[in-house]
Chain A
């Protein structure tokens, strides 16, 4: 079995190298984009690609599935343990509900669908599948995940990241004008989002005050929601880009070297 591993890794390295190399340039492009885009004040942000910073204001009250904390937005993943201490993500989910971002000049609505969320994981727990805590078992059952019984035979990892009200976030995305909505039945649409009573008026006010909606653009798909500062974000992306631009060719060269050597010597799988 060990004889197959080296050629397998060499092939993987050969294939992964160019992909990493390409991704390195992508990270570099995003880094440049962040650096080149000054932070706009929400009150006067222009439509198109914008960068804003502000505090999260929830549009509707939501409860994070694992931690049960009230939040504006949540995202989670479930992974199973594979052979060599590697995790394979088997399920991802996100709330997808819009929320507001407020700075000292105004409010903007953010539609998080398709965003690259760079938020720290609030919950990360590894458990043996057969003795899962109730919150995880209940979530899998509610979602009716077909493979959940198979996954529970091994070790599982549960991760959840949330954006709570008042969190400071950095958003880079495409601003579009706020849609004009004709309210046919007052109250019902807000009630459907789980917001009722006095909060309905607050949300209605925020929607009316919103300068625009920030979402993933059709022309420029860059859409980042991050809890890191712009400086940390660009530093991280720069390091990532550097690693991928150097690591990609190194992997390819190593993989190719192995295969060329093996073919030249005629000692495959040894």
Chain B
């Protein structure tokens, strides 16, 4: 074999290995990104579960004080019910938005009960739920960042080739309900 031929073979070998390696790195990174989406959602789920666990305690603490506010309790209960039925990410997101809204209204109504506001358990639960909601908001942002990165990558060249081969499709964002951006409407029921 001639020296020139050997060198061309080596250069072509590097080119082939390089191309294969590059494709492999795209494949691996898309798979990692896809798994990151699952992980980000699971990380939100942990907090949502913690928030759900606080709800019965909240209801129990407030029941004695807010006996005439069946409406807000019902909304909380409906939201929890919707969560149990939700299975996909968009359904869960919708149910969670409903619960967030119901909680917002619940705390707004609770403002009208000074005795309840002075209750140590209520204050602790309110603070805990508020902290959890802040964390959920952060993780929702993180989840949406991950999904956006994934959605952008699978549409860009050269990643689109590997994404099509893997049949990757766009993932859904965890959107905030437009009603959540509006102020909470407070309506006090009259006792009796």
Interface residues of A (CB under 8 A from B): 21, 25, 28-29, 32-33, 35-41, 43-44, 46, 48, 105, 245, 248-249, 252-253, 256-257, 260-261, 264
Contact = CB atoms under 8 A, between A and B. Distances in A.
Interface of B: 3, 6-7, 10-11, 14-15, 17-18, 21-22, 25, 28-29, 32-33, 36, 39-40, 43, 47, 134-136, 138-139, 141-142, 145-146, 149
A249 B11 contact: yes
Contact of B25 (A29, A40, A48): A29
Contacts of B18: 21, 245, 249
Contacts of B149: 35-36, 38
Contacts of A21: 14, 17-18
A105 B6 contact: no
A74 B25 CA distance: 34
Contacts of A25: 21, 25
Q: Is the interface of A mostly helix, strand, loop or mixed?
A: helix
A48 B38 CA distance: 14
A43 B145 contact: no
A236 B32 CA distance: 22
Contacts of B17: 21
Nearest to A48: B39
B3 A257 contact: yes
Candidate in A21, A36, A264 with the most chain B CB atoms within 10 angstroms = A36
A159 B163 CA distance: 46
Given A21-B18, A36-B29, 6 more contacts: A28-B22, A33-B32, A41-B138, A256-B10, A260-B7, A264-B3
Given A36-B29, A38-B145, A44 B138 contact: yes
A41 B28 CA distance: 26
A253 B138 contact: no
20 contacts: A21-B14, A28-B25, A29-B25, A32-B29, A32-B32, A33-B29, A36-B33, A38-B145, A39-B145, A40-B142, A43-B135, A44-B47, A44-B138, A44-B139, A44-B142, A46-B139, A48-B39, A252-B10, A253-B11, A256-B7
Contact of A41 (B21, B22, B43, B141): B141
A46 B43 contact: yes
A33 B33 CA distance: 9
Candidate in A38, A43, A105, A261 with the most chain B CB atoms within 10 angstroms = A38
